[in-house]
Amino acid sequence: SIMVTFSLLGLTLAIYRPLAALISGVLGGLLVAYTVKDRGATDPTAAPSGTTTACPTCAAPGAADDDRPEGWLARLRAAVVYGFVDLPEDIGRSMLGGLIIAAIITAIIPPDFFTGVLSGGIVAMLMMMALGIPMYVCATASVPIAAALIARGVSPGVALVFLMTGPATNAATIATVWRTMGKKTAVLYLASVAGTALASGLTLDYFFTAAAIMPHQHGHDMGQMPLTPTEMAMAIILLAVLIVGAVRSYLPHHKHVASPKDILAMETNPCIELRIGGMTCSHCRMAVEQGLKEVPGSEVVDVDLHAGRAVIAGTANPDELIRAVESVGYTAEVIPNVPGDRTA
């Protein structure tokens, strides 16, 4: 999302946007920490204050082997696969939708259409906030929409309010926080996001007005200048990656090919199958997989995002596996073994 912001809106917004989000998160956390006292119960399973626990990754057998060349090549391969396969599969549909909406805005709405209406000021930002808070817009897909709005006369500050409130809030999230964390926390969460977005938007507009610059000076004014052959080639590649990712998101999940070592571990060790709740993307899957791998006795871990299940081969304790999944923010329960049924 930061890279897309840099590409479409320039360096200033690429730096300013995540800093504003950081301030919003810290502010909301501090407000809740100092005002919601009844939600700060101590976890009885946590380590006593002043004690140090060993890092499971560093303590794991073979951790020192990460410095080997093949270890770095494996990490590089994993990064490329995530960037060009897993991530586009997660955000491809949303990103394509954002690009289509941006294209429609650019093609239909004349230049400077919003000048005077949404060109700046607190009223325009409140209008954009009222639009962004109840609906969810993908953090990446919202950027081309914001760029198109800026090209049609919306001020950078007003667009920033949309960029901050759209991805951070929606009706379902607010209702969930209200139900699970309490009314006071939900109000503080909403107030911190809205207040920070408003203050950040006003500050950004003041900066651009004082500096007399536009947020996308370095690039093309949303189609007003022709693309160079290199830019056209990069656009085609990006579009192809997004389309393939969007198509893959509709296809049945294809499990990875297990290594001979993993197959042997599955055949020679007892397997525990868990039903995982709350996973929505490949990042969720990786978080669950990493948490399960850190449990002692987990020889092989295979997490199926689309089925919402995980198979663990080894001698790990089922209760510890469930706690590991819950510690990273998801739910888990053991699925009783069916004789002759092996899903790994």
Sign of the alpha-carbon dihedral angle for 129, 19, 329, 137: positive
pLDDT tens figures, 237-271: 988 988 988 888 777 655 554 565 666 666 667 78
Question: Crossing angle of helices 156-168/142-151, nearest 10°?
Answer: 160
Q: Are 145 and 95 in contact (CB under 8 A)?
A: no
Q: What is the pLDDT of residue 267?
A: 64
pLDDT band at 215 (very low <50, low <70, confident <90, very high): low
How does residue 66 score in pLDDT terms, banded at 50, 70 and 90? very low
What pLDDT shows up at residue 265? 62
pLDDT at 65 over 50: no
pLDDT at 282: 74
**Band (326; pLDDT cuts 50, 70, 90):** confident
Rounded to whole angstroms, how far apart are CA atoms 49 and 324? 21
Helix (H) or strand (E) holding 304: strand 298-304
Residue 20 pLDDT grade (very low, low, confident, very high; cuts 50, 70, 90): very high
Residue in this structure with the two tokens 């502010």, named with its chain if needed: 27
- Note the pLDDT tens digit of each residue in 78-133: 888 888 888 888 788 888 888 888 888 878 887 777 776 677 788 888 888 888 88
What's the half-sphere exposure (Cβ side, CA atoms, 13 Å) at 83?
A: 9
The HSE-up count of residue 331 (CA atoms within 13 Å, CB side) is 4
Average pLDDT over residues 221-226: 54
**Three-state secondary-structure class, residue 219:** coil
Q: What are phi and psi of 285, to 5 degrees?
A: -60, -45
196: left (phi over 0), alpha (psi -120 to 50) or beta: alpha
Sign of CA dihedral 131, 136, 139, 144: negative
The phi, psi pair for 339, rounded to 5°, reads -55, 130
Q: What is the pLDDT of residue 40?
A: 44
Q: Which residues pair with 312 in a beta bridge?
A: 272, 301
Mean pLDDT of the chain: 77
